[in-house]
Amino acid sequence: MTSDATRDAPIVTAVHGGSGYVAGELLRLLALHPRFVATHVASTSQPGESVVATFPHLAGTSLDALRFASEEAVLDACTRGGPLAVFLATPHGSAAPLAKRLFAARAAAGLEGAGSRDFHVVDLSADFRFPDAAQWASIYGKPHAAPELLPRFTCTVPEHFDGDAATASSSSAAPPRHAAQPGCFTTAATCAAWPFFKLGLVESDVFVSAITGSSGSGRTPAANTHHPERHATLYAYNALSHRHEPEMRRLIGAASGDGRAPDVEFVPHSGPFVRGIHATLRMTLRREIAAEALVAQVNELHQQRARTTGGRSFVLASTSAPKLTEVVGTNKVRLGIATRGRTLVVTSVIDNLTKGAAGGAVQWMNRLFGLPDGAGLELPGLGWY
């Protein structure tokens, strides 16, 4: 963790892939952040254009004068020394070669070693979510572009990282230098299942059914994801074959501590709304426990970990079924717990653009720089949208 950055001084922040939905959400959060200041935003499609022209909802903020720059210009800015936060919000497969160029440029500028203590990268794509390049290639259908960088990145939900090698991409238990944000479906499902595996309360099978909003498909319309095609309907896709399923196995399995991945069966759905994920998980308790008792254990686990790490948990459980309107626009996770006999059902709601992507990434960057987890993320919900 960074410990010697000047207290309250702004931290130069660069964003790559700056014109997408996730980047737009990231810039919204950075405009409110007490330390991270978005000074460089790269876009391959809109260099020189105004950021707020692309994201009009950000007008009237500190981003008004900011313009997109080329990747080369932003990479050059990342070699000037001083504390630096870099977010990679590029498409899957593009972040790894970009990270390779970034690390090489900083090494050439003599910024490795002691000069790199205040330099952290958080990847919002899938490029650094797996420690094994062969596994990544089997899922994404092409070789990993920078396998030598995989050990530098840790991938898990920030609340779940405790320096444990099982949750890290690296075999080292040292604090991470760089992080990868898990996928949005993975975040919703892992936050729902993780505490029960951590507490040793459930068997190894997990069934996940989750519905996501249209913003999860990105800014470019496609025949099966364009909002007019899905606004008044609901359908499943990639049942039992979605690329987030292996992520869920790895991250949920890490909670049990025995190295065994659970048998996760995942069915994603496209929902008729823009923002949010509603996930329903079914698990089997090892013994009958009342829902109220489980709620108390789950909340105490998160509170205890927050006290131990000095961090902040955005996860809260109850016996009430959560609604998307409780979390849209926030970094919160709301869990609803129900039981019948040994059957456990957990519903989980998150904002896919915030906790599932940009908010989780900012939370990770807070952690890497030794800032409070909640810095810039203590956001009220929208309520209606």
> What is the rounded distance in angstroms from the CA atom of residue 353 to the CA atom of residue 119?
24
- The tokens describing 378, both together, are 């203590």
Name the pLDDT band for 1 (thresholds 50, 70, 90).
very low
Identify whether residues 316 and 345 lie together within a single domain.
yes
Is 184 annotated in the active site? yes
The CATH code of the domain that includes 31 is 3.40.50.720
What is the pLDDT at residue 229? 82
Specify the residue for token string 């130069």: 12
What is the pLDDT at residue 363? 96
Specify the residue for token string 């948990």: 313
Mean pLDDT of 263-288: 97
Q: Rounded to 5 degrees, what are φ and ψ at 337?
A: -115, 130
- The tokens describing 359, both together, are 């908010």
Strand order in the sheet with 119-123: 68-69, 36-42, 11-16, 84-88, 119-123, 178-180, 153-155
Whether residue 374 is contained in a domain is answered as no
- The tokens describing 369, both together, are 């720089």
Whether residue 385 is contained in a domain is answered as no
Mean pLDDT of 142-147: 97
Q: For residue range 346-364, what is the model confidence (pLDDT) as tens digits?
A: 999 999 999 999 999 999 9
What is the pLDDT at residue 170? 42
Q: The pTM is what?
A: 0.94
The CATH code of the domain that includes 203 is 3.30.360.10
Beta-strand relationship, 343-350 and 277-284: antiparallel
> What is the rounded distance in angstroms from the CA atom of residue 382 to the CA atom of residue 348?
18
Identify whether residues 109 and 203 lie together within a single domain.
no
Beta-bridge partners for 208: 266, 281
Specify the residue for token string 């396998």: 147
Identify whether residues 126 and 247 lie together within a single domain.
no
Domain count, the chain: 2
What is the pLDDT at residue 183? 97
Mean pLDDT of 254-276: 91
Whether residue 380 is contained in a domain is answered as no
Identify whether residues 121 and 40 lie together within a single domain.
yes
Whether residue 28 is contained in a domain is answered as yes
Among 78, 155, 184, 191, the active-site one is 184
Whether residue 190 is contained in a domain is answered as yes
Specify the residue for token string 């399923």: 245
What is the pLDDT at residue 168? 43
> What is the rounded distance in angstroms from the CA atom of residue 59 to the CA atom of residue 38?
14
What is the pLDDT at residue 6? 59
Specify the residue for token string 């014109």: 19
Identify whether residues 58 and 121 lie together within a single domain.
yes
Identify whether residues 131 and 262 lie together within a single domain.
no
Whether residue 89 is contained in a domain is answered as yes
Q: For all residues of the chain together, what is the average pLDDT?
A: 91
Identify whether residues 203 and 255 lie together within a single domain.
yes
Whether residue 316 is contained in a domain is answered as yes
Identify whether residues 228 and 245 lie together within a single domain.
yes
Mean pLDDT of 30-43: 97
Mean pLDDT of 7-34: 95
Identify whether residues 190 and 163 lie together within a single domain.
no
Q: Containing domain of residue 149, as a range?
A: 11-181+356-368
Whether residue 1 is contained in a domain is answered as no
CA 313 → CA 25, 103, 181, 262, 307, distances in Å? 20, 31, 16, 24, 10
Identify whether residues 269 and 176 lie together within a single domain.
no
Beta-bridge partners for 180: 123, 155
Three-state SS string over the chain comes to CCCCCCCCCCEEEEEECCCCHHHHHHHHHHHCCCCEEEEEEECCCCCCCEHHHHCHHHCCCCCCCCEEECHHHHHHHCCCCCCEEEEECCCCCCHHHHHHHHHHHHHHCCCCHHHHCCEEEEECCCCCCCCCHHHHHHHHCCCCCCHHHHHHEEECCHHHCCCCHHHCCCCCCCCCCEEECCCHHHHHHHHHHHHHHHCCCECCEEEEEEEECHHHHCCCCCCCCCHHHHCCCCEECCCCCCCHHHHHHHHHHHHHCCCCCCEEEEEEEECCCCCCEEEEEEEEECCCCCHHHHHHHHHHHHHHHHHHHCCCCCEEEECCCCCHHHCCCCCCEEEEEEEECCEEEEEEEECCCHHHHHHHHHHHHHHHCCCCCCCCCCCCCCCCC
> What is the rounded distance in angstroms from the CA atom of residue 126 to the CA atom of residue 92?
6
Identify whether residues 307 and 268 lie together within a single domain.
yes
Identify whether residues 340 and 362 lie together within a single domain.
no
